[in-house]
């Protein structure tokens, strides 16, 4: 069985019905599960190793919270759409408590052991991944989570606080961004121009 078919068969056998009961929709062609709460949508997608072969599928899940509302708001503010509509997101192994790490992916081999792999994955999704991400229920919590990411995009966190009608917090995160970038001595992600745009538009200046 080719790896994609092997993965789809196991997703549909072990996860599809259970996650639908939790309010998720399943998109087979991606494959991906999505669930919308208010302005935010939780996405669980599946990535495969490029080294997969017949009857061998190494895979992992990618998690993200996205928002069409953010894209619409950004377009209204700046006249163009954002690079993406992602609010927060990461690979499964960066979720606190996940039982696998970046070098220990789930593996399907079209054998009885596939059940053990999928049961572990299902347990991780239901008891670790979903509880972690479903705490992001509004723009305030979205901003808080985004500000704790491995790479903090200060301009995005500012946007989320503005959407939450928290201008003081929005201003504070811009000030924090400037300070931390200056302390590092570099701006590899070119965040300062975006910070300056927001400081001038919403606060005249954060300095």
Q: Which H or E element spans position 175?
A: helix 167-184
What one-character DSSP code corresponds to residue 138?
S
Name the average pLDDT for the chain: 95
Task: Using DSSP bridges, classify how beta strands 86-91 and 25-27 pair: parallel, antiparallel or unpaired.
Answer: unpaired
Q: How many residues does the chain have?
A: 207
pLDDT at 201 over 80: yes
Which domain-ending residue is among 92, 118, 133? 133
Predicted pLDDT at 108: 98
Statement to judge: residues 157 and 122 lie in one domain: no
Statement to judge: residues 125 and 195 lie in one domain: no
Statement to judge: residues 127 and 154 lie in one domain: no
Whether pTM > 0.75 for this model: the answer is yes
pLDDT at 204 over 60: yes
Predicted pLDDT at 206: 52
Predicted pLDDT at 90: 93
**Which residue range is the domain that position 189 belongs to?**
139-202
What is the rounded average pLDDT of the residues 70-99? 95
Backbone angles phi and psi of 40, in degrees to 5: -115, 150
Predicted pLDDT at 174: 96
Predicted pLDDT at 205: 62
Statement to judge: residues 92 and 192 lie in one domain: no
Which domain-ending residue is among 80, 110, 133? 133
What is the rounded average pLDDT of the residues 153-160? 96
Predicted pLDDT at 66: 97
CA dihedral 89, 93, 99, 101 (to 10 degrees): 170
């Amino acid at each position: 069985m080719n790896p994609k078919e092997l993965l789809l068969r196991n997703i549909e056998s072990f996860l599809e019905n259970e996650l639908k009961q939790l309010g998720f929709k399943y998109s087979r062609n991606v494959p991906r599960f999505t669930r919308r709460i208010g302005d935010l949508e939780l996405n669980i997608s599946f990535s495969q190793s490029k080294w997969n072969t017949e009857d061998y599928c190494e895979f992992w899940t990618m998690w993200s919270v996205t928002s069409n509302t953010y894209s619409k708001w950004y377009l209204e503010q700046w006249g163009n759409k954002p690079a993406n509509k992602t609010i927060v997101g990461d690979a499964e192994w960066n979720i606190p408590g996940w039982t696998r790490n970046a070098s220990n992916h789930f593996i399907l081999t079209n054998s009885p052991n596939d059940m053990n792999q999928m049961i572990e994955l299902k347990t991780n999704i239901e008891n670790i991944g979903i509880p972690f991400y479903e705490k992001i229920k509004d723009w305030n919590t979205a901003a808080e989570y985004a500000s704790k990411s491995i790479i903090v995009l200060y301009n995005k966190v500012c946007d989320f606080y503005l959407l939450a009608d928290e201008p003081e917090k929005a201003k504070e995160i811009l000030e924090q961004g400037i300070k931390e970038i200056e302390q590092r001595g570099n701006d590899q992600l070119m965040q300062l121009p975006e910070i300056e745009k927001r400081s001038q538009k919403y606060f005249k200046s954060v300095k």
